[in-house]
A and B are shown apart, each in its own frame.
Chain A
Amino acid sequence: DSGVTQTPKHLITATGQRVTLRCSPRSGDLSVYWYQQSLDQGLQFLIQYYNGEERAKGNILERFSAQQFPDLHSELNLSSLELGDSALYFCASSVDGTTDTQYFGPGTRLTVL
C-alpha cells in the first residue's frame, strides 16, 4: 500500500459524458501527478500540481483539466469523453515537486462505451 488513494476504482460511462477522478496523496506529500496508461501508448504524464499550483504539464488534452485543493487532494476532470479515453488513470504523489520518488495509487480504470 503506497498510501495514495484513488476513487473510484472502476468507472464505466458513455461517449460525450464528463467524469471526475479523485486522488488523495500520501500524508505529507505536497505534489500530485496524473498519468494515463493505455495499452498502445503506455504510461503518459498528464499534469503535476505542487501545493495547489500547476507545476508541469504533459500530454494533457484540452478536454481534460485538473486541480489540487487546499487539503492537497486532487481531481482530474475528463469531459466530452471519447472511446479512446478508455484507460487506467494513475495518480502519484511525492514529498515535493523535485523528487523522482513518486508513489503511485492503485489507479482508476475508465471505460467509455
Chain B
Amino acid sequence: GQQLNQSPQSMFIQEGEDVSMNCTSSSIFNTWLWYKQDPGEGPVLLIALYKAGELTSNGRLTAQFGITRKDSFLNISASIPSDVGIYFCAGRGGNYGGSQGNLIFGKGTKLSVKP
C-alpha cells in the first residue's frame, strides 16, 4: 500500500530559527496536506496543496507540492514557542471515495522550540 516517509522525526530548535520538514512517498499523490497537532487535541489543517509545483503560504508557514508529485515540504520561518507540536503530512492518491482516495498520514515531526 501507499506509505509516507516524514522526516525528521523530531526537531529541537531555538526560537527565531527557521524549520524545514518533508514527506516523501513511494507513489504519486494528487493532494498534499499539512496538519499540526497540539497535545490533547486533534490535528488542525494548516495548508492544502493540489497541484504539482504549487507553493502556498499561511502566515509564517510555507508548503510546496513537489514536482514529481511524490514529495512535499513544509517550512516555518522565525519559529516561536507556540509552534511546538507535532506536524503531520497527509496525501491523497486517487479520487474521493475510491480505494486510493483516503488520506494517508505520515508519522509526524515533533517540534520543540527553546525560548
Question: Which residues B90-115 have CB closer than 8 A to chain A?
Answer: 90, 92, 96-98, 101-108
Tell me which of B12-20, B40-48, B51-59, B75-83 binds A: B40-48
The reply to whether the CB of B31 lies closer than 8 angstroms to some CB of chain A is yes
How many of chain B's residues have a CB under 8 angstroms from any CB in A?
Answer: 23
* Residue with the highest number of chain A CB atoms closer than 10 Å, among B40, B42, B45: B42
Q: For chains A and B in complex, what number of residue pairs have CB atoms within 8 angstroms?
A: 54
The reply to whether the CB of B33 lies closer than 8 angstroms to some CB of chain A is yes
The reply to whether the CB of B73 lies closer than 8 angstroms to some CB of chain A is no
Give Cα A101–Cα B90 distance, bound, in whole angstroms: 12
Looking across the interface, which residue of chain B has its beta carbon closest to that of A41? B107
A44 touches B105 (CB 8 A): yes
Give Cα A103–Cα B45 distance, bound, in whole angstroms: 8
Looking across the interface, which residue of chain B has its beta carbon closest to that of A109? B40
